[in-house]
Every structure is written in structure tokens, then in C-alpha cells.
Amino acid sequence: MPERRVTVASSVGLHARPAALLAKAAAAQPVTVTIRKDGGEPVEAASVLGLMTLGAMHGDEVVLNAEGEGAEEALEALASIIAEDHDQG
């Protein structure tokens, strides 16, 4: 199963606006993508509530997983969202 590790860049972590952007992008993918913190349980990346329960803060590393046709492209697209600070003024 393809996976991608990425560091959360947004200053508020995966909460509010970054979580909404990530969930929307994940829902648009042709495969189901899960996200987890190391040692944690995976949640669906398309769920804003799931993303917020991760407690992923700025600087935390998260792991994205997906399987199926288009998985690599989906992981790359979502990783780029997580790696960008969406809370800069």
C-alpha cells in the first residue's frame, strides 16, 4: 500500500481551514485516503471531524495511505496541501 510521510506546515495544525481544504481535496480523489500520526489509528482524510481528532499540530509528521489506481497521485496531491502553511496572513 503506497504511503507518504509529510510534516504539517500550517501554524494551527490540521484544524479549521487546513482540515477543510484537505478533506475537500481527499473527497475528490479516485481512491480512499487515510491519515494517521505515528502510533495512532488511521482516519479517513475526507473527514474534517476525523482530521481534527488526530490532533496533528504544526511540525508533526503524519502518514497518508491509499490503495488502488491513482493512489500515488492522490497521495502527492494531499501531501502538498499538508506541507503548505494555509494560515499565513
What dihedral do alpha carbons 15, 64, 70, 85 form, nearest 10°? 40
Per residue in 10-28, pLDDT (tens digit) is 999 998 899 999 999 999 9
Instruction: Give percent of the chain with pLDDT exceeding 70.
Output: 98
3-state helix, strand, coil in the chain (%, to 5): 35, 20, 45
Integer Cα distance of 87 and 80 in angstroms: 15
What single DSSP character describes residue 2?
-
| Mean per-residue pLDDT, 17-41 | 96
pTM: 0.93
Can you give the pLDDT at residue 66?
97
In the predicted structure, residue 88 carries a pLDDT above the cut 80: no
Can you give the pLDDT at residue 1?
84
Integer Cα distance of 66 and 31 in angstroms: 7
Residues with a known catalytic role: 15
Which CATH architecture is the domain 3-82 placed in?
2-Layer Sandwich (3.30)
